[in-house]
Amino acid sequence: MTETTSARVRVSPGEAHALEILDVLCRGRGLRVRAKPPLELRPEVVEVGAQRMAVSCLRYLRDAGGREERTVLRGARRRAGRLWDPGFAPEFRLRFTEASYRLWWELAQRLDGLSRQSLARVGERATREARRVIRRVVQVPGTDTGDWLLYTLTWRHLSILQMMPEVRDELSRRMALGSPLLALASLQSAVPPDCADLSSSFGRLLTPGAVRMLECLDDLLVESWTGEVINALRLSKTEEFTARFDAIAEALETYLELLERARRLDLARALMRFAAGLATEVFTGEPDNERRRALIHHSPRSIAERDALLERVARVVAVGERLLERRDELADERYGDDRYEEARIVLGDAERLLVPQADRLTALRVGLSGALR
């Protein structure tokens, strides 16, 4: 028998394995105990798992951004504070539903069947079966804030679980349907069945019970967005390249428009950091060289097809210019105007993060798209 440290509960090797699967999902820890999980977990073991899940997710928020002193809007007024400051976000809660337990327990039960080695042995038929199993593993409707964060952390740690890329992608796609946070982080444009459009899906992140979670995750969003663009540039199939950049651009533009309509452009700091990073970390060469590099894996059959591919990349870069346009509009706000407090935050962030890269972003967008200006 194995002794857990998170609670005074003695667990079997199979139960220890299930708890370590949960640690993979929440914290990205590697598996040490490998044993067949039991057919059912005892209530006290489920309680240990629930505590680990909640503590791990709250700790992640604290370490990711909750310790940071940040100025955001509360009731259209500026307020500085941290996640844990009393009274700063009284409505914020991480709520876990049956979806989180299902993800944990079903993956613990079915991980061997979803593994790379298992599927590679029996081929495409098993991969199709894995996709069917994933629909049982991941619940989409009825999820809440805790589920959204757990799905997102699981997505970040999936590489630890040995799955074929097709299976991993399908699992990520379905989790994104159940988590607007993951859909935003992974820049997916698919709309879950309980939302009218992508904006309404992302809009759930701006509710009083969820927005503080979003405010803590700038680093996660910037890192994820940058990675998604880099990965998209590596796609060799033209159809996949086109679809992926369309989805990336749609997600980014929808999120920016949502923040504008909600008058929460104080939350655009992550977008500013991402846009500036495109100029300094992703597209680091001269615009003409970046044009060639963007199409290094493709052989367009015509000038029109070439320009259409480049325009999709340029559309993502153009998010930086859209942000600068919003900044210029808010610069006209004066003391006492409705958006004055929001404008103070946006102008400060833009001056520090985005304005130094403004000319470079314009040059990249023009160079990639072939536009006259």
Query: Dihedral of the CA atoms 33, 34, 40, 42 (nearest 10)?
Result: -10
Q: For residue 232, what pLDDT is reported?
A: 96
Using only C-alpha atoms, the chain has a radius of gyration, in whole angstroms, of 22
82 vs 280: CA distance, rounded Å: 29
What pLDDT band is residue 162 in, cutting at 50, 70 and 90?
A: confident
Q: For residue 3, what pLDDT is reported?
A: 35
Q: For residue 117, what pLDDT is reported?
A: 57
Residue with the larger pLDDT of the pair 267 and 120: 267
- The conformational region for residue 300 under phi > 0 = left, psi -120 to 50 = alpha, else beta, is beta
What pLDDT band is residue 121 in, cutting at 50, 70 and 90?
A: low
Residues 6+ apart with CB under 8 A from 54: 94, 96, 146
Q: Which pTM value belongs to this model? A: 0.93
What's 102-121 look like in SS3?
A: HHHHHHHHHHHHHCHHHHHH
Phi, psi of 164 (to 5 degrees): -65, 150
Residue 8 has pLDDT above 90, yes or no: no
What pLDDT band is residue 116 in, cutting at 50, 70 and 90?
A: low
108 vs 110: CA distance, rounded Å: 6
Residues 6+ apart with CB under 8 A from 284: none
Residue 104 has pLDDT above 60, yes or no: yes
What pLDDT band is residue 125 in, cutting at 50, 70 and 90?
A: low
Q: For residue 127, what pLDDT is reported?
A: 66
pLDDT tens, residue by residue, 184-193 = 999 999 999 8
Phi, psi of 3 (to 5 degrees): -100, 125
Q: For residue 119, what pLDDT is reported?
A: 56
What pLDDT band is residue 142 in, cutting at 50, 70 and 90?
A: very high
Closest by alpha carbon to 223, among 373, 65, 46?
A: 65
CB 177 within 8 A of CB 189: no
Q: What is the mean pLDDT of the chain?
A: 90
88 vs 81: CA distance, rounded Å: 7
CB 258 within 8 A of CB 202: yes
Q: For residue 7, what pLDDT is reported?
A: 45
Residue 306 exposure: Cα atoms within 13 Å on the Cβ side: 12
What is the mean pLDDT of the segment spanning 56-71?
A: 92
Q: For residue 23, what pLDDT is reported?
A: 95
Residue 58 has pLDDT above 80, yes or no: yes
Q: For residue 24, what pLDDT is reported?
A: 94
Q: For residue 131, what pLDDT is reported?
A: 80
Phi, psi of 77 (to 5 degrees): -115, 145
Query: Which helix (H) or strand (E) is 3 found in, with range?
Result: strand 2-3
362 vs 231: CA distance, rounded Å: 23
What pLDDT band is residue 49 in, cutting at 50, 70 and 90?
A: very high
What is the mean pLDDT of the segment spanning 3-29?
A: 81
Residues listed for the chain: 373
User: Mean pLDDT lowest for which of 29-38, 115-124, 146-155, 326-335?
Assistant: 115-124
Share of the chain above pLDDT 90, in %: 70
Phi, psi of 79 (to 5 degrees): -150, 135
User: Mean pLDDT lowest for which of 122-126, 218-222, 271-275?
Assistant: 122-126
Residue 344 has pLDDT above 70, yes or no: yes
Q: For residue 350, what pLDDT is reported?
A: 97
Q: For residue 33, what pLDDT is reported?
A: 65
What is the mean pLDDT of the segment spanning 241-263?
A: 97
Q: For residue 5, what pLDDT is reported?
A: 42
Residue with the larger pLDDT of the pair 30 and 283: 283
- Encoding tokens for residue 13? 């090797």
What 8-state DSSP symbol labels residue 5? S
Dihedral over Cα of 224, 243, 289, 361: its sign:
negative
Q: For residue 14, what pLDDT is reported?
A: 87
What is the mean pLDDT of the segment spanning 306-312?
A: 93
- Encoding tokens for residue 153? 């952390």
Q: For residue 126, what pLDDT is reported?
A: 59
What is the mean pLDDT of the segment spanning 186-201?
A: 93
